[in-house]
Structure 1
Amino acid sequence: MDERTLEQAEPAVQERIRTSFQLQGLMSHLGARLSHIGPGRVHIVLPSRPEVTQQHGYFHAGATSSIADSAGGYAAFTLFPEGTSVLTVEYKINLLSPAEGEYLEAVGEVLKAGRTLSVCRLEVYGVVGAKRSLVATGQQTLIQIEARGEG
């Protein structure tokens, strides 16, 4: 990772992202948390626990894709002006290998920020100790909308 990938977003932007993230019932239900908020880049961590696995003990594809979707959405949201919000228009995810590890780390990164539509790259890594393995990759389109009082 180059130095720019760990750049922090402005404090007001971080607060807006954290406030919105706390309102997502699914992220709370899964046990996911924000681990990095930068301009056009957000990381979400999902610890391994039985409630987020499938029958073989791997992270469930639904949990994997959910954190990828939210990471991309919030990455785009970091670049949106005050008074706006974000919705996913579409996303495509490829599951490259069974998702396993101590936790998953989803990384959303803005590829193209537009006035209305933005496109993000999605990556999900399985992490064990210092070893990170890419388990999913995808792309997402998001739309900027007027805020609806969600923070």
Structure 2
Amino acid sequence: MPDLRDPNALPRMQAAFDRQGIMQTLGVTVDDVAPGRVTLCLPFAPHLTQHHGFLHAGVITTVMDSAAGFAAFTLMDAESEVLTAEFKSSFIAPARGQSFRVVGDVIRSGRTLTFAQAQAFANDNGVETLIATLSATMMAVRNPALRQPGSA
């Protein structure tokens, strides 16, 4: 398990997640947080589907980006916030199911750049299937102007 650079990283990550309007809009919740790993849950919602009735790829990508980014955030120092520098997503199977579990993991955490990945799994009638992957580069931002009022 990686070492935390900030002893308050996990509660800071949860507070930052709670401020994300997009996660609230999508109905995403945090299922588990550990240093370098974040698991998010997303319920199926008909208004988030594409024309075939599958959850839209943009929704899955958004949640994978957040899972990877927040996994990176857990290993950043107390003065840093996280921003995505780049990512690539790949879709393996249709996003069909009643709920989705998205796991973000840090591959390598540096002072400025962190390399992370995410995997999205569909839960369809109790059967879990890997549906998408994401590889990402996350950037530590130390610009106080980017912080929200009231953030740690």
TM-score using structure 1 length: 0.88
- Structure 2's unaligned 5+ residue stretches are none
- Corresponding residue of 1:149: 147
Q: Does 1:57 align with 2:53?
A: yes
Cα distance, 1:11 vs structure 2:
7.8
- Corresponding residue of 1:106: 102
The one-letter code matched in structure 2 to 1:78 is: T
Distance 1:18 1:115 in 2: 21
- Corresponding residue of 1:7: none
* Deviation string, structure 1 residues 47-70 (Cα, Å, up to 9, x no partner): 001122112111100100000000
- Corresponding residue of 1:47: 43
Distance 2:134 2:45 in 1: 24
Cα distance, 1:13 vs structure 2:
2.4
- Corresponding residue of 2:63: 67
Cα distance, 1:122 vs structure 2:
1.3
Judge which range, 46-55 or 91-100, deviates more. 46-55
The one-letter code matched in structure 1 to 2:8 is: A
- Corresponding residue of 1:95: 91
The one-letter code matched in structure 1 to 2:70 is: Y
- Corresponding residue of 1:18: 14
Distance 1:61 1:112 in 2: 26
- Structure 1's unaligned 5+ residue stretches are 5-9
TM-score using structure 2 length: 0.88
**8 A Cα contact 2:65 2:134, kept in partner:** no
Percent identity reads: 35
Distance 1:67 1:140 in 2: 13
Cα distance, 1:132 vs structure 2:
1.3
Say what the alpha-carbon RMSD is for the aligned residues: 1.6
Distance 1:17 1:130 in 2: 30
Aligned length, in residue pairs: 143
* Deviation string, structure 1 residues 41-96 (Cα, Å, up to 9, x no partner): 00111100112211211110010000000000000000001121000000000011
Distance 2:89 2:57 in 1: 10
Q: Name the SS for the 1:36 alignment partner.
A: strand
Q: Name the SS for the 2:136 alignment partner.
A: strand
